[in-house]
Structures are given as structure tokens and as C-alpha cells.
Amino acid sequence: MKAAPERQLRLLDLQAIDTRVAQIAHARAHLPQLAELADLGRKAGLLDDQLIRARTELDDLQRDIAKAEADVAQVRARAARDQARLDAGTGTAKELQAIQHELESLARRQSELEDVELEVMERAEAAASDVAELERGMAELATRIAALEADRDARLAELAAEEAEVTVPRHTYAEQIGPDLMALYDKIRATSGIGAAALSRRRCLGCQLELNQVDLDRIRGAAPDEVLRCEECRRLLVRTPESGL
């Protein structure tokens, strides 16, 4: 038996285009870069939260250092004034004795404040190290993300170019097929993904099932331009020289 008319054969060309377009769409939606970028985006978010907390802690500690330095400076200034009065020997013996006691108290207070200042400075140094480490991590992550985005964009551009090239003849094929058959093809393809399949060696290439003898006899007796459908999958069934009829 001869193959189906040209317009039905064009259905197979059209289906090949639509299949490839669907494959391109699937590839576009499932680029490996997308999953990795999503994972890195989550990591970047967590790292950014940690960096904000670390910077906040460092800012707080730097304010604590400034306060501790001011407290130490205030005690030193007070001690310097008292020492000057004591060295000058002005005042009564009782007053000078009180100044001496105050100097001793100020010395203890200064030592305590300096210990506090040193402890805060050590904490600030550790916090600054944490901030620097997190900033390095963020920079490395940003570099990796930028590289992945470049890879993603390059792949998307390749897919877009292929899609544009593949679909060039689709409009011509659709005109050759005609609006009625095109409407049926699109309706079937919308529900099953494949609108038309070749009959090859007595097998429907849509559902991959071999047709029984009754269906084969029916197809043999059909007019060449009759639009046939697979009894199993209901796709448009296109006869070719390899149909085995």
C-alpha cells in the first residue's frame, strides 16, 4: 500500500518538530545549573544571615570598646589630677591622706576597667575574624553563582537558538496540513503529548503496540486520504511505505 497523502505525512514532520520543542522546553526547565543555583541561593541566604549577625555583634563590641576606653581615660584623668594635687602638697594632712586613698582606689578601678577593655577587645578580634571569614565565604559563593549564571545563560541561549531553528518550517507544515486536521492534531497532542504517529511494521509508534489483524485489514481498505487513528492510543495514525501493510 502506498503512503498517506503528503499533508498527512507532514503530520510526522510537524510531530518531530513539536517533540523536539518539548524536549528543549524540558531541558530548559531542568538545567543542572538551575538546581545548583537554587542550592547556592539557599546557602547564600543562610550565610548572609550569619554575616549580618556577626557584623552586628562586632558593632556592639566596638561600641563596648569605645565605652571601656572612655571609662579608663576618665579614671586616668581623675588619677592624674589627684596625683598632681598630692605632688603639690596643697591641703591638710587629712585631705592629702584622702587623696592617697582615692588614688589607690582609682588604681584598682583602672586595673579592673583595663581587664574589661582587654576582654572586650579579644572578643572583638574574634568577631572581626568571623566577619572576615564569612565575607570570604560570601565572595567565593558570589563568584561561583556568577559562573553558574553565565553557564546557565549560555545554555539557555543555545536552546533558544535551536528552538528558533527547529520551528522555522512549522508554519509551512501547518498550512500544508490544513486547519481542520491541524485542530485535531493539536487537540490530541494537548492531551497525550503526541498528536500523530507513524504506522511502522504494523506497529503504532505512538503507543508502541502492534495492531491486530482486524485493524490492519480496516487500514488496508481505507481510502488513501482517510484520516486514521490508532484504536489503542487514539493518536493520528499515518501510513508510510514502512507500515507493513
For the segment 2-18, what is each residue's pLDDT rounded down to a tens digit?
556 888 999 999 999 99
Helices (H), 167-221: 170-177, 179-192, 213-221
CA gap 222, 103 in Å, rounded: 118
Task: State the residue for C-alpha cell 605632688.
Answer: 87
Render the burial of 57-69: b for 16+ CB within 10 Å, e for the rest.
Answer: bbeebeebbeebe
Can you state the angle between helices 93-166 and 6-29, rounded to 10 degrees?
Answer: 170
End-to-end CA distance of the chain, in Å? 6
Provide the CB-side half-sphere exposure for 235 (13 A, CA). 25
Q: What is residue 210's DSSP assignment?
A: B
- Give the span between the Cα atoms of 151 and 34, in whole angstroms: 10
Q: Which residues contact 29 (CB under 8 A, 6 or more apart)?
A: none
CA–CA distance, 133 with 139 (Å, rounded to integer): 10
Residue 1 has pLDDT above 50, yes or no: no
Residue 226 φ then ψ, to 5°: -70, 135
Instruction: Please tell me the distance from the alpha carbon of residue 183 to that of residue 105, in angstroms, as a whole number.
Output: 98
Query: Do 210 and 203 contact (CB within 8 A), yes or no?
Result: yes
Are 204 and 233 in contact by the 8 Å Cβ rule? The answer is yes
* Whole-prediction pTM: 0.73
Q: What is the pLDDT of residues 23-68, one digit of tens each?
A: 999 999 999 999 999 999 999 999 999 999 999 999 999 999 999 9
Q: What is the pLDDT of residue 87?
A: 81
Q: For residues 174 and 179, what is the distance between their CA atoms, to the nearest angstrom?
A: 8
Residue 66's alpha-carbon distances to 63, 117, 131, 205, in angstroms, are 5, 9, 19, 80
For residue 3, what pLDDT is reported? 55
pLDDT, tens only, 114-167: 999 999 999 999 999 999 999 999 999 999 999 999 999 999 999 999 999 999
Half-sphere exposure of 125 (CA within 13 A, CB side): 6
Q: Domains (ranges, CATH) in the chain?
A: 6-26+178-239 (no CATH), 31-166 (1.10.287.1700)
